Amino acid sequence: MTSVVITGSRYLVRPEQADQFGPFEKTFLAEGDSWMDASAAVQGSLPYYLAEEFNRRGKTHLIINISTSGQTLQRISATMSGDYLWWLKQLRYDAVLLSAGGNDFIDAARDEAAGEGLLRDMQGQPLPADGYECVRQEALRSLVDGFLNPNFAAMYDALRASSRNAGTPLLLNCYDTPVARNAPAIPGLVGPWLWTAYRSNHIDPSLWPSLTQGLFRDIKAAVEGWAIGRTGVELMPTTGVLTPASPDATGSSGDWKNEIHPNARGWRKQASIWADRLA
């Protein structure tokens, strides 16, 4: 017997590929972005290393993974009639593992025209004392209050309305703070993310560390807000865990594989924290 992580689509077609290793002590549903995505072979993902950690501890658990690289909370909520809602009806889970919100912040910083997204266009502007002054506060409020909070509420309400999982704990990834640097996941195709956003908005590199710290404080605050007044929602203490990368490194550095994803050493640190809670 061993712990297994398998995508939802694969489990539907070939359940024996996982079930042969059972019976399982616990079953978990993983949803969210690339930090959860089992198909993220280039940089790894939490469920893969979580299963590895379970095996190291002699546990036999099943993780059904329906997450997708690049997924935003807005898209997860908009497609709840798809995988998420369907899987809530199929099995009783010991916990739902969710990583969401980070991509929404990054997309808001990177994908809009200069000065029209989460960041101010600093071209021709005086250098502020703190990089966080480059954040457009009205855009931040709109992102959190207008998109993230209602979309999380929809996910939470769907979980609590599920006959099988009305009392299932929902565990939230709080990420960790990366270093903005030119370290893509796939050069020329995927990433870098913050590095691109900062350059597009003409933000001086001297401001990047304090800006990144501020943005990830905002991400953590948003995620922490989702737990307020909601039963069974827990925050995973994953911030301040990873060794930062060198700002000049274009590949794996510290505990980071690329700009915003951990490497194997980093994933193992994160997985140990999750495994302690899921025990």
- For the chain, the structural domain boundaries read 4-278
Reported as a single tens digit per residue, the pLDDT across 26-52 is 999 999 888 887 544 556 789 999 999
Q: Given a cut of 90, is residue 275 above it in pLDDT?
A: yes
At residue 4 the predicted structure's pLDDT band, cuts being 50, 70 and 90, is very high
Q: How far apart are CA 62 and CA 146, in angstroms?
A: 35
- Which residues neighbour 231 within 8 Å (Cβ) at sequence distance 6 or greater? none
Q: What top-level class would CATH report for the domain 4-278?
A: alpha beta
- Phi, psi torsion values for 67, nearest 5 degrees: -80, 165
- Average pLDDT of the segment spanning 253-260: 96
CB atoms under 10 Å from CB of 39, counted, come to 14
Instruction: Note the helical H segments in the chain.
Output: 8-13, 16-19, 46-56, 73-78, 83-90, 102-110, 137-141, 149-161, 194-200, 208-227, 264-278
The pLDDT tens digits for 61-117 are 999 999 876 566 766 666 555 688 999 999 999 999 999 999 899 999 999 999 999
**Tokens in use for 180?**
């903005």
- In 3D space, the residue among 66, 55, 145 whose CA is nearest the CA of residue 98 turns out to be 66
On the 0-12 / 13-18 / 19+ scale of CB atoms within 10 A, 269 is: middle
User: What rounded mean pLDDT belongs to the chain?
Assistant: 93
